[in-house]
Amino acid sequence: MKIHPDLYHGENKIKNFFEGWYFKVVDKSGTYALAFIPGISLGNKNDENHSFIQVVNAVNSTYHYHRFQPDLLISNKNFLQIKINNNEFSQSKLKIDINNEKESIRGFLDFSPGVKWPDGKINPGSMGFYNHFAFMECYSQVCALDGTIIKGELEINGKTINFSEGKYYIEKNWGKSFPSSWVWIQSNNFPNNRASVTCSLGVVPFPVLKKFCGFLIGVTIDDRFYSFTTINRSSLCLNVHDNDLILVSNNKNLTLILKTKSTPGEFLKCLGPKNGDMVPLVDETLKGEVEMTLIDNKKNKIIYHGVGKATGIEYGGNQKQLFNYFLNP
């Protein structure tokens, strides 16, 4: 397994493999949000192989899946840079040139250096030592917890939107299939740009145990990074209220509380990988909110409290399976 999880892992893969990078961009006002997902899908038959760019468009409340020949995906071997046709995705810029019967999006965004998830050789990336396990069905990586769009604009179906001084976020997934059940929450559009949060919960196949439920939560407050994960033995309790969630995680003297707010009608059905195929798996919105509270229990002090706008919220797979585990951990 690669020590650099940001990079492409599919050079020697022939079938039943996927890899996708998730680039979320939001304008300065927090009004307009889009997610671009470049990637590749290698099926069980050669004619199923293709590269793709998925577009989750909260501006127009649309989702589109654009297919390309698999050899059109070109990756840099030294740093995160993915090119598909005339489109380019990296940690320094985003160039979009999509124009077909589905939608038209064109433009260029210039990124500042993003905030990285702290890691090392023993624990590379946000998944840590799990990256060394070759039997995992799905791997994930937070490539940029938070970053600023220095300048740029996108022309979306004839409407030009200025993204200068907005926000970007990057993550990725690769492997054979998405987890059988998962939840994802992310926002870096908090008041005064002081905070960001990314949160993933999933049911993970695992030898001997057959499966276990793991989670990764990364939080930045000003210049501080806080993690609540299965790896660092944090606890997690989950409550479900209609379509929204309340998550409470504890790590030593810290307590993190996340409360989502979303509208069911604003979720879009997106494709995701399952056993070599890209199928409708994902319910996603970029119009949610997340109320975040971080508490220092030792000092009996609230470190941060705020509401993140343009929040990405994703549900996938057998939600009952996941909810039952964390409701009764």
pTM listed for this prediction:
0.94
224 neighbors 294 (Cβ within 8 angstroms): no
Q: Please choose, from the candidates 44, 38, 42, the residue with its C-alpha nearest in 3D space to the C-alpha of residue 80.
A: 38
Helix (H, G, I), strand (E, B) or coil at 126: coil
Q: What's the first-to-final CA gap in the chain, in angstroms?
A: 30
Q: Tell me which of 39-48, 73-82, 113-122, 300-309 is least confident.
A: 113-122
| 3-state DSSP percent of the chain in helix, strand and coil, to 5 | 10, 60, 30
170-223 pLDDT per residue, tens: 999 988 888 888 999 999 999 988 999 999 998 876 655 566 688 999 999 999
- pLDDT at 10 > cutoff 60: yes
How far apart are the C-alpha atoms of 266 and 314, rounded to whole Å? 11
103-129 pLDDT per residue, tens: 999 999 999 999 998 876 655 555 554
Maximum average pLDDT range among 128-142, 290-304, 312-326: 290-304
Q: Using only the alpha carbons of the chain, give its radius of gyration.
A: 19
**Checking DSSP bridges between strand 235-241 and strand 254-261, what pairing results, if any?**
unpaired
